[in-house]
Amino acid sequence: MSRSTDPGHFFQTEASLEEAARKSQKAHNSNGNPIVLPSKILAVEPDPLDAGRAYVAESGGTVRRIVLEVYVSSGRVFAGSWDKLIWSWNPENREVLRKYSGHLDFVKAVLYFVPGGSNSELLVSGGADASIFVWDVNSGAKLHVLKGHARGVQALALNYFESDALNGAAIIFSGGSEREVKQWRIDSHSAVELEGSEPILEHETSIYKIRFAGEDMWTASADNTARRLVLERGGWRTDTTLVHPDFVRDVVLDDSGRWVITACRDEEVRVWDVAVYNPFPLVLPRGYANICSIKTGKLHHIFSGHFEEVTGLALLGQTLLSVSIDCTIRQWSLKPKDLQAAVAAAEEAKIGGVKEATPKLKATALITEDEERELAELMEDND
């Protein structure tokens, strides 16, 4: 018996056919100068050593380096995989350096760091098995196993601000397929949940991404929000909430601190103005909020081009990369003039669309004046 994967050979509802037609039409757009790859793109990370390069992970099992400018680099690339391994490569000659084995399910997050005041290199991984492993990068030895999440771990982030003050220990935040964000104190000799910390419960459900910008933490969640969390005396609390129409898969902050960019399952990349205006600047101790601060959190622009879920974002200077399961990498400029031009073009297109959607129609009568007069006379006779 022959088999087929062609969607046209299967029963489809009218709604699914309309959606397929919409995506097919949108797929031909060239917004963001798309780079097309062979398979769905699941994640993107900037090269920490080269400002003009980034790495993307594909569902087909390939990690590629994308070069926007020419730089010389060295180091290693790490990637978690569905085969339950963490792979390490030399990016220059593509040689596989090591495979780290230990997870019982696919690996969804990896984080590399060097503890302060130490020569050791550590790798932290989170998996669908709800475990967090700490590895010695050079020997491949599994140093610690952390348990605490009830479901899969899919986000790891290093809190640089807190880690600097802890004599070589790093503070790692983790989130996953539940609403909790946990905090861990990790170094070469020990790995434990941060003393005195409580699970952070600001989201309603799964957390896809955690990123730090100075003292602030940004999170992206399946509860359709991206949030900025600040550390107050009572713990981490939501300071700004950016509401979306669907799951938020990633969030990044530009170097100026003004723009936050989010990736959404609705195919769009959004730019938000999160500048903090303080008309009465005060120097306050850590943990105290200035009630005079005004936080905007206003949607500034939408970059539209992807025709499937946007899965990741990376900033290379003032160039934003977005990746999607539509197999494309798209590039968007955040340079002031370019962003201003993009906003103006979107407004012009929006106005044009409204005019087309709501044409001015000439009113027409359903009956003539003579017929209307005759009908009135008949009604009077009936009275």
CATH of the domain at 76: 2.130.10.10
Tokens of 312: 């990741």
Position 12 in a domain: no
Could you give the 3-state DSSP secondary structure of residue 339?
helix
Model pLDDT for residues 228-261, shown as the tens digit of each residue: 999 998 899 999 999 999 999 999 999 888 999 9
Counting the structural domains of the chain, the total is 1
Residues 6+ apart with CB under 8 A from 319: 68, 331, 332, 333, 334
Pairing of strands 225-232, 268-273: unpaired
- Residues spanned by the domain of 206: 29-335
Model pLDDT for residues 181-199, shown as the tens digit of each residue: 999 999 888 999 998 899 9
Residue 290's pLDDT band, with cuts at 50, 70 and 90, is: very low
Position 236 in a domain: yes
Q: What is the average pLDDT score of the chain?
A: 84
Position 372 in a domain: no
Position 352 in a domain: no
Q: Please state the length of the chain.
A: 383
List Cα–Cα distances, 79 to 96, 172, 174, in angstroms: 11, 18, 17
pLDDT (mean) for 169-173: 92
Least confident range from 52-61, 276-285, 356-365: namely 356-365
Residue 366's pLDDT band, with cuts at 50, 70 and 90, is: very low
Cα–Cα dist 346/381, whole Å: 61
pLDDT at res. 103: 97
Model confidence at 334: pLDDT above 80: yes
Model confidence at 9: pLDDT above 60: no
Question: Which residues, in sequence order, are bridge partners of residue 324?
Answer: 310
Position 347 in a domain: no
pTM of the predicted structure, to 2 decimals: 0.82
Position 261 in a domain: yes
Query: By CB neighbour count within 10 A (0-12 exposed, 13-18 middle, 19+ buried), where does 142 fall?
Result: middle
Q: 3-state secondary structure string, 209-266?
A: EEEEECCEEEEEECCCEEEEEEEECCEEEEEEEEECCCCEEEEEECCCCCEEEEEECC
Cα–Cα dist 288/100, whole Å: 43
Position 229 in a domain: yes
